[in-house]
């Protein structure tokens, strides 16, 4: 693929994840431009990726790139769109990495800008194993879509989805890591305290988790049949409480970002 200039508006977590993923895949970062108003954020990125171009007071270079990635939080998206509207290259591709703001909304705010994609990035992209769903504006040509796909494929799996599902992916594939990381970490600590060494504990837990999902989704058994495979359930007494938290907190957040 022809090297395209990439401009990030926002230099926080997601930008760092993308840059690490690019580096892992041996993709040069000397064509990357990052704008962020916080100089400390840019300094951290620059120390890790010395070839990138950064600015804290002028977004012109980043917005003028071939591909402009909006790595900002939803509360500042409208403000960001207003600022970049007159600076975009008409042939550029704008890629939003935020939930909530639809392609139609962004198109309207950018005065009918035709080339817009939305991607819901996964933290696992930092090891090139992300699940990053993408959707495109109907006005984007197949050629432009391929440009986005070729840029993002090194980060992991890139399924094309209907836009109305993007927030669902945000709740499940993007935020889903956080539902399990504390539990997995505690299992590792307990495994070591029970006598396993660290590498053994990690291997056992990873294989167990993979087998758990495979058994539930691909065994051909019903949920009731699957859970009956193990007679002893140490967390059985609190299971309904844990499930209740999922319903309470995830549904509330989904309704908030979908509104």
Report the pLDDT value the prediction gives residue 2, as an integer from 0 to 100. Answer: 64
Cβ burial of 72 (10 Å; 0-12, 13-18, 19+) is buried
Lowest mean pLDDT among 2-11, 52-61, 163-172, 177-186: 2-11
Report the pLDDT value the prediction gives residue 136, as an integer from 0 to 100. Answer: 98
Q: What is the mean pLDDT of residues 42-60?
A: 96
Report the pLDDT value the prediction gives residue 48, as an integer from 0 to 100. Answer: 96
| Residue 96 phi, psi (nearest 5) | -90, 135
Q: Which residue in 133, 131, 87, 96 sits closest to 115, CA to CA?
A: 96
Q: What is the mean pLDDT of residues 196-207?
A: 98
Let me know how long the chain is: 259
pLDDT per position as a tens digit, 112-138: 999 999 999 999 999 999 999 999 999
Please, which pLDDT band fits residue 102 given cuts at 50, 70 and 90? very high
Cβ proximity of 212 and 184 under 8 Å: no
pLDDT per position as a tens digit, 5-33: 999 999 999 999 999 999 999 999 999 99
Q: What is the mean pLDDT of residues 246-259?
A: 92
> Could you give the maximum distance between any two Cα atoms of the chain, in Å?
64
| Residue 9 phi, psi (nearest 5) | -100, 100
Flag whether pLDDT at 259 surpasses 90.
no
Report the pLDDT value the prediction gives residue 156, as an integer from 0 to 100. Answer: 97
Q: What is the mean pLDDT of residues 141-151?
A: 95
Please, which pLDDT band fits residue 3 given cuts at 50, 70 and 90? confident
∠ CA 200-204-205, nearest 5°, is 120
- Domain at 6-164, CATH from 3.50.7.10, 3.10.129.10, 3.40.50.720, 3.40.50.9100: 3.40.50.720
Neighbour count for residue 39 (Cβ, 10 Å): 14
Please, which pLDDT band fits residue 258 given cuts at 50, 70 and 90? confident
Neighbour count for residue 65 (Cβ, 10 Å): 22
Please, which pLDDT band fits residue 79 given cuts at 50, 70 and 90? very high
Mean pLDDT, all residues of the chain: 95
Question: Would you kindly state where each structural domain of the chain is located, as residue ranges?
Answer: 6-164, 176-258
Q: What is the mean pLDDT of residues 205-230?
A: 97
Its pTM stands at 0.91
Q: Cα 133 from chain centroid?
A: 8
């Amino acid at each position: 693929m022809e090297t395209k200039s990439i401009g990030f508006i926002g230099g926080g977590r997601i930008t760092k994840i993308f840059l690490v993923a690019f580096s892992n895949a041996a993709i040069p970062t000397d064509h990357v431009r990052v704008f962020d108003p916080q100089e400390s954020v840019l300094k951290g990125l620059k120390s890790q990726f010395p070839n990138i171009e950064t600015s804290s007071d002028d977004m012109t270079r980043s917005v003028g790139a071939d591909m402009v990635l909006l790595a900002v939080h939803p509360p500042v998206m409208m403000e960001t769109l207003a600022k970049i509207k007159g600076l975009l290259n008409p042939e550029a591709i704008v890629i939003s990495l935020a939930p909530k703001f639809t392609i139609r909304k962004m198109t309207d705010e950018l005065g009918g800008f035709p080339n817009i994609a939305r991607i819901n990035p996964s933290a696992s992209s930092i090891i090139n194993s992300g699940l990053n769903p993408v959707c495109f504006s109907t006005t984007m040509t197949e050629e432009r879509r391929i440009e986005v796909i070729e840029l993002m494929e090194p980060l992991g799996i890139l399924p094309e989805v209907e836009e109305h599902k993007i927030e669902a992916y945000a709740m499940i594939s993007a935020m889903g890591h956080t539902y399990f990381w504390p539990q997995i970490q505690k299992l590792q600590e307990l495994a070591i305290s029970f006598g396993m060494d660290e590498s053994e504990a990690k291997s056992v837990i990873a294989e167990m988790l993979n087998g758990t999902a495979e058994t539930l989704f691909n065994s051909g058994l019903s949920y009731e049949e699957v859970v009956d495979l193990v007679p002893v359930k140490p967390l059985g007494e609190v299971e309904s409480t844990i499930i209740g938290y999922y319903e309470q907190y995830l549904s509330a957040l989904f309704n908030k970002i979908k509104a």
